[in-house]
Structure 1
Amino acid sequence: MTATLKLTPTIQMPAVGFGTYLIKPEEAAAAVKTALELGYRHIDTAEVYRNEVGVGEGLRAFLAESGLKRDDVFITTKLWPGNSAWGMTPRTYATTLEAMNTSLANLQLDYVDLYLIHAPFDPDERREQWRAIAELRRQGKARAIGVSNFTGAHIDELVAAGLPKPDANQIELHPWSQKPDLVAYLEANDILPIAYSSLVPLASWRATPGQESAKTAQMRADGAAEASPFRVMAERLGVSEAQVLLRWALQRGYAVLPKSTSA
């Protein structure tokens, strides 16, 4: 887990991060501390995950015991932009700045290494949210800035407004969701792809009741089949299916965010 990827000309990001989506707030501190003890040096959270407080507690406990410094660990969090289509008030320039201050307070940090807009809702406010995030980088509250779930057209819109391009785009990437056109766009524009849901093809992925996934019936059948290509490949190589899927992404130059609440 020591490999890094270039995020900006001056910032390297650990290629393997510990994802915290669906980790309960009361479990986050222990999960993050354990992940860091196992060698993770990149933790990914988000405002909407509601576990930033636990992430911060786990980080502080690890640093206190390990003797490592804050800058030895890469922290990503995300702005929840709000969505008027869902009856939510979209974040404005001012409330985006406030949201970052709240996230930093939750995490007990002075800055994060990467701050993302979680999704491309509300076109008008989207530009103002990005303008605010660029200001947060200028203020030193975010070392790098990016987006999540954006298309090339969404990014072009930001650049056309005279705003900086993102350093990264966190998107669903795995063999069932390869997004070749978007990945080519990101690579052509020097924007780092960060893969989430890398383990979708596993039969066990989000199998817990209540954890809905976007799997189709065909995906579920393929994942459970004895002749699943990932199972066959894993058996041939003597590794786990999860390792096969993570290697698939890493060999393509994507960062990955596996998650677990058990060691």
Structure 2
Amino acid sequence: MQATLCKIRTGAPVCLEEAIMANFDTLRYTKIPLIHGSGAIPAVGFGTLIPDRLATGRATKAALEVGFRHLDCAERYRNEDAVGDAVQVVINAGMIRREDIFVTTKLWNTNHRPERVKSAIDASLRRLGLDYIDCYLIHTPFAFQPGDEQDPRDGRGQVIYDNEVTLIETWHALERLVDDGRCKAIGLSDVTLEKVQEVITAARIKPAVVQVESHPYLPEWELLDFCREQGIVLLAFAALGHGMSPNVLNDPVITGIAERISKTPAQVALAWAVQRGTAFLTTSTKHTYIQENFEISALPEDAMREIRESIRLNVRFNDVVKTGVPGFISRAREVPSPGSAADVP
């Protein structure tokens, strides 16, 4: 089954093509149906990997006020409580309801053993101040030595992996979380196509979401096509390429389109992500960038075609899919170019 892109207008779902033709400003409200769980996931998402907790709270509150309705969190980020506090402030102010927000969080590598999974999500629920998670992801398919140390290392500084548990055993533990209502949907993160196929073969409940690095320099077309066939939402982190070199936002194809349609390079890259059928995550601590990243508009078809056909550079900025080791927290930074935004998974 191929997921159908929808937007919400006066309470009724409208296909993306119709929405674009009716009003170019509707793209930001696109929702993508889920094969199980909370109905649909907002395609425009705000990531919360922000090292400073105070900045996390301010940025999360700003994102919700601007219009973001999808928050991406993780046990690993060590700031779920700051996100939860910001959510409660906005809810208590009467601006939104809990059911208006789609909250994703993730099981960290040290909690892959089935007996640790339930306590891990319960701890996330407490920190976030929520009764349920909309989507719970296995952060990476790599199991680390269980314990309180998130980054266990041996005497040589090498990661200590856990060979006593399989990814499929962890997945079955997540399925039981859906059964008991702790989360509405489950999925995978930082995975290869082969790992997704492995889980689907053994799953009772298929992944609803697969979160991977994806941007114009790493479009992941093969994985996206497979996800479409399975009805799985591909959720792109680093949708602006981390602000690393080579910088996606400085690509002449992206900047040329931005100039032609009077948008910023960031808005072009993010609109491209939604129009090709993915959800995306972007992160910033600056209000102007947060607002810019939400206020995307549909690209002309010739621009979509140009991005696909003219950008040949292929770059993966994050090697977490090979090791399970994130290594990106210290890299989190604002993109210095005007009108762009920092982006971290």
Give the Cα separation in 1 of the matches to 2:215 and 2:181. 33
- The residue that corresponds to 1:81 in the other structure is 109
The Cα shift of 1:242 comes to 0.4
* Structure 1 residue identity aligned to 2:139: H
- The residue that corresponds to 1:20 in the other structure is 48
User: 1:156-235, aligned counterparts within 5 Å?
Assistant: 156-200=197-241, 205-206=242-243, 215=245, 219-220=246-247, 224=250, 228-235=252-259
Are 1:6 and 1:13, in contact at CA under 8 Å, matched by a contact in 2? yes
* Structure 1 residue identity aligned to 2:86: G
Shift in alpha-carbon separation, 1:12–1:261, aligned structure 2, 3 A: same
The Cα shift of 1:91 comes to 2.2
User: 1:1-263, aligned counterparts within 5 Å?
Assistant: 1-8=28-35, 11-82=39-110, 91-122=112-143, 124-200=165-241, 205-206=242-243, 215=245, 219-220=246-247, 224=250, 228-263=252-287
* Structure 2 residue identity aligned to 1:32: T
Cα deviation 1:85-106 (Å, max 9, x = unaligned): xxxxx62001111110110011
The Cα shift of 1:25 comes to 1.8
| Other structure's SS at 1:163 match | coil
Are 2:42 and 2:70, in contact at CA under 8 Å, matched by a contact in 1? yes
Equivalent pairs, count:
239
Cα deviation 1:3-45 (Å, max 9, x = unaligned): 2111226611111011112342222222111111111111111
Cα deviation 1:178-221 (Å, max 9, x = unaligned): 11211111111111111110101xxxx44xxxxxx5x5xxx24x
Are 1:155 and 1:165, in contact at CA under 8 Å, matched by a contact in 2? no
Shift in alpha-carbon separation, 1:65–1:53, aligned structure 2, 3 A: same
* Structure 2 residue identity aligned to 1:188: E
Give the Cα separation in 1 of the matches to 2:117 and 2:53. 23
| Other structure's SS at 2:206 match | coil
* Structure 2 residue identity aligned to 1:6: P
> Segments of 4+ in structure 1 off by > 6 A?
none
* Structure 2 residue identity aligned to 1:20: T
Give the Cα separation in 1 of the matches to 2:95 and 2:49. 27
Q: Could you say what the CA RMSD is over the residues aligned between the two structures, in angstroms?
A: 1.9
Give the Cα separation in 2 of the matches to 1:37 and 1:255. 20
The Cα shift of 1:223 comes to 5.1
Give the Cα separation in 1 of the matches to 2:192 and 2:250. 31
* Structure 2 residue identity aligned to 1:159: I
| Other structure's SS at 1:130 match | helix
The Cα shift of 1:114 comes to 0.6
* Structure 1 residue identity aligned to 2:142: F
The Cα shift of 1:241 comes to 0.4
Q: TM-score, with normalisation over the residues of structure 2?
A: 0.65
Are 1:158 and 1:164, in contact at CA under 8 Å, matched by a contact in 2? no
- The residue that corresponds to 1:85 in the other structure is none
* Structure 1 residue identity aligned to 2:33: K
Moved more, 149-158 or 11-20: 149-158
Give the Cα separation in 2 of the matches to 1:158 and 1:170. 14
Give the Cα separation in 2 of the matches to 1:257 and 1:159. 24
Give the Cα separation in 2 of the matches to 1:254 and 1:150. 16
Give the Cα separation in 2 of the matches to 1:78 and 1:223. 28
Moved more, 117-126 or 14-23: 117-126
